[in-house]
Amino acid sequence: MIDRRQMLIGLGVSAMAGALSSRPVLADETILTLRGRFPKAGPDGSVSSSLSDLDALGRTSFSTATPWHDGVNEFSGVSVKNYLGAFGAAPKTIRLVALNDYSVETDVAELIEADALLATRRNGQAMPISDKGPVFLLFPFDDRQELKHQSYYSRAVWQLTEIDIVA
């Protein structure tokens, strides 16, 4: 199992080495780690997923404009609901942690209610770190007016690397 430090060496160092890395996401590198107490956690209390692991959890997509992209784009990936469910995790509160050390704590029911997506592809292409990937938590902003609000923008975490179960 690859831990967060190894992952940061893999992903973060390339991000820090000058420009954000635009190299393609490898199918088998860890891009997202779930940490905390949940039924399918490994011995170190976490589970790490690659792009192909996430793909295997089911695909969801929507098209929307966002504050960070030009025009309308199609985003696809696994929903937060299916991701947590796949590991038997039913947390009340999680912390979303990004590669740039931005983090935000959020109620899980609110994310699921808002159809939060762990987007891994934009218009069918895996997103490198330089395109705010490999994982960008996004909401279908164009579907519902209430999502176009600071409380959702602040939870739209790009370069999402870890989800910590808080409660």
Q: Which residues bind ligand MTE (CB under 6 A)?
A: 67-68, 98, 100, 102, 150, 153-154, 156-159
Asked if 93 interacts with Mo ion (CB under 5 A), we say no
Nearer to ligand MTE, 99 or 165 (CB): 99
Asked if 151 interacts with Mo ion (CB under 5 A), we say no
Nearer to Mo ion, 26 or 104 (CB): 104
Tell me the backbone φ, ψ of residue 85, rounded to 5 degrees: -60, -35
> And the tokens for 120?
């891994």
CB of 32 to ligand MTE, least distance (A): 13
Q: How far apart are CA 12 and CA 21, in angstroms?
A: 9
Which among ligand MTE, Mo ion, none contacts residue 68 (Cβ within 5 to 8 A by kind)? ligand MTE
DSSP, collapsed to helix, strand or coil, labels residue 149 as coil
Nearer to Mo ion, 82 or 103 (CB): 103
The correct pick among 154, 161, 163, 164 for binding Mo ion (CB under 5 A) is 154
Which among ligand MTE, Mo ion, none contacts residue 108 (Cβ within 5 to 8 A by kind)? none
Residue 156 burial (C-beta neighbours within 10 Å; 0-12, 13-18, 19+): buried
166 and 105 in contact (C-beta within 8 Å)? yes
Residue 11 corresponds to which amino acid?
Answer: L
